Amino acid sequence: MAEFIAYLIAGIATGAIYALAAIGFTLVWQTSQTINFAQGEFVMLPAVLVLLAIKLLGAPIWLGALIGIAAFILVFGVGFKLTVVDPMIKHGVLPLAITTMALSIIMKEGAKDGFSAEAQNFPSFVPSQTIQVFGASISLQHLAIIAVAFAVIGALQWFVGGTRLGRQMQATAQNPTVARILGIPVERMVLLTFVINAALAVVASVLISPIYLAKFSNGEVIGLFAFIAAIVGGFNQVRGALVGGLIVGIVDSMAAAYISTQYRLAVPLVLLVVIILLKPEGLMGRKEERRV
């Protein structure tokens, strides 16, 4: 039982990271019909930029974190929207999707060649200690990940549903044409969504890098599992992305513990196939009809 609890907490912590990335997937898709296949690299890169700022500038940790995070949000929040999405979306969803795939390769190889091909330690703001819960050894870092991730997601839900700016974002996502008629600055709302996506990626990166280290290849699994989580939960629902992330994280943890570490990547893929066959809109998604 103690072992099961430990794996469950680890799975929830990992699932919270997947949920943050998956929510970014859904927000960007809802407002701009963009699928960002570089989302995993978006989670990988902030930690690399922070360490790069500390190394090159000789800055203290807090200043390096501030510089790295600000640079990432500026370039991959605002810059990504203006220089990649806006020019490519005019040509359709498929060319844009291919462009984000190319961007993911550029980001990964850039981090490898420009920073390091080896995993680097990332400073943790939480002691790497364990506590005993019902006889199970639970990492304080895992508990911190769960607490911070849920706090951020809760704050995002409040912002989207409880503020005027958030409701304008929802209106933009639901019907941009009507939103424009009502005087909502649609382009600004879409840009804000991309900034929020970059901020969520920063939070995920800072939370997971102390455990899994800062490495150029970290985005591969995170991006894949976050995409699966978004589909499993429902690509058009933020709460669906949260549920999907937790399910995928727990399934991944349990598969590694009780099935095989060699086949742990296959189990979430099986889950994805089952969901697509039985409930294509996702566990919490809603069906959509579009005229073509």
- pLDDT score of 261 more than 80: no
Do residues 100 and 37 lie in contact, with contact meaning Cβ atoms separated by under 8 Å? yes
Q: Tell me, yes or no, whether 251 lies in a domain.
A: no
- Whether 290 shows a pLDDT value over 70: the answer reads no
186-212 and 39-57 are packed helices; what angle lies between their axes, rounded to 10 degrees? Answer: 70
Question: What number is the average pLDDT over the span 216-243?
Answer: 90
Provide mean pLDDT across the span 89-105.
91
Looking at the domain assignment, is residue 171 inside a domain?
A: yes
What's the CA gap between 250 and 261, in Å, rounded? 14
What is the pTM assigned to this prediction? 0.92
Choose among 74, 70, 71, 100: nearest CA to 88.
100
Q: Over range 205-226, report the average pLDDT.
A: 92
- The predicted-structure confidence for 147-188, as pLDDT tens digits, reads as follows 999 999 999 999 988 899 999 998 998 888 899 998 999 999
**At 79, is the pLDDT very low, low, confident or very high (cuts 50, 70, 90)?**
very high
In a domain, 115, yes or no: yes
Which range of residues forms the domain containing residue 83? 2-219
Q: Which pLDDT score, from 0 to 100, does residue 289 have? A: 55
Query: CB neighbours of 150 closer than 8 A, spacing ≥ 6?
Result: 16
Higher-confidence position of 282 and 13 = 13
Confidence band, pLDDT 50/70/90 cuts, at residue 291: very low
Whether the pLDDT of residue 55 is over 90: the answer is no
What share of the chain has pLDDT > 90, as a percent? 61
For the chain, how many structural domains are there in total?
1
Is the per-residue pLDDT at 239 higher than 90? no
Look-up of token digits 């790295």: 68
Q: What are residue 131's DSSP bridge partners?
A: 138
In a domain, 67, yes or no: yes
Is 62 a domain residue?
yes
- Please check whether residue 57 lies inside any domain of the structure: yes
Question: Given pLDDT bands bounded at 50, 70 and 90, which one contains residue 111?
Answer: very high
- Round to whole Å and give the CA distance between 230 and 245: 7
**6-50 per-position pLDDT tens digit:** 889 999 999 999 999 999 999 998 888 888 999 999 999 999 999
Is residue 173 a part of any domain in this protein? Answer: yes
User: 240 is written with which tokens?
Assistant: 């669906």
